Chain A
Amino acid sequence: MTQTEKQLTEKESLDLIAMMINKAKDTRRDTGIAAIMWGAVIAICSLVRLSEIHFGYKLPFDIYLLTFAAVIPQIYFSVKEKKKRKAKAYGDVFFDNMWMAFGICIFLMIFITGSIYSGLKPMTEEYQKLTGHSAPFHFYEFNSSFFLLLYGLPTFVTGVSMKFKPMLWGGLLCWVCCIVTIYTTVKIDLILTALSSIFAWFIPGLIMEKDYRKAKKGLAAANV
């Protein structure tokens, strides 16, 4: 841009406006680190729980506690990314709040499903004692469906809004798996949950990270 007060023609003005708006569009670029981390964490939790059930052992701690531990690096990444952000796009506020609301809903869902499970447990045990048969309804078999329903929501909205197809398809996959898990066993539910988190977050996160590094390289080259 020239340093003098250049007077523009009408056509030059419109071209300049279009050019600057296009430059501003490039503002939002996610590093993808949070998506990679959460994709990996949920997949690991699901697969470890699957192995516990399949091989009949029990870890000395609940593997899902890993999700609570992952909140700490998540806060660190969010603060770091916010500091790096030199401009705040209108969409940034929306996406930040939507994912924060999603996080709150997940922890509320853990609390709700936990409460329902502990409320139903004495009844199913009583049923087994009285009839000698396993109860026909086990709430934990539907746990994955509730979580997959939630996983799909912000993933799909982000995919559609950012025109980012890997997340759009990932969100849809979460919802398909949500339906399927109603009819499948806990073991299959866990496999589908792991698959959903890999396709909805881990892989899109890797793509975002690659794009981010490419854009950073391009920017560095342009400034040389």
Chain B
Amino acid sequence: MFKDLDPILHSQLRLAVMSLLISVKEAEFTFIREKTNATAGNLSVQIQKLKEAGYIDVTKQFRDNYPLTVCKITKQGIKAFEEYVANLQSYLGKG
């Protein structure tokens, strides 16, 4: 029986962000933007959605008087990501 894929993760940019964050301890907004080639506006919206879902933590700080946004995957985010990958594999394996 196939499970439905998590709609929060099953979108190109959000999945890219989560894949990056699962690989590092934490990452700055600019790092995520560089790696995903997304616009700042679109990335902000998708990061907000992931934050609202409880998948990532977002902290805003200042460095040398410039705002700095740092993102970190949460335990809930890791669990959701692992489930998503397992579901994908079952789709591909049985499909």
Contact = CB atoms under 8 A, between A and B. Distances in A.
Contacts of B13: 1-2, 5
B24 A88 contact: yes
Interface in B8-65: 10-13, 15-16, 19-20, 22-28, 30-31, 34-39, 42, 63
A23 B36 CA distance: 9
Nearest to A27: B24
A169 B55 CA distance: 42
Given A25-B23, A86-B28, A20 B11 contact: no
Given A1-B12, A7-B10, A25-B23, A17 B85 contact: yes
A164 B39 CA distance: 35
Interface residues of A, number: 28
Interface string A1-23: 11101111011011011011101
Contacts of A83: 63
B38 A21 contact: no
Nearest to A12: B12
Interface in B55-78: 63
Contacts of B35: 20, 23-24
B15 A8 contact: yes
Given A13-B15, A14-B92, A86 B31 contact: yes
Nearest to B72: A88
Contacts of B28: 86-87
Given A1-B16, A92-B25, A13 B37 contact: no
B38 A17 contact: no
Contact of B24 (A1, A3, A6, A90): A90
Contacts of A7: 10-11
A93 B92 contact: no
Interface of B: 5, 10-13, 15-16, 19-20, 22-28, 30-31, 34-39, 42, 63, 84-85, 88-89, 91-92, 95
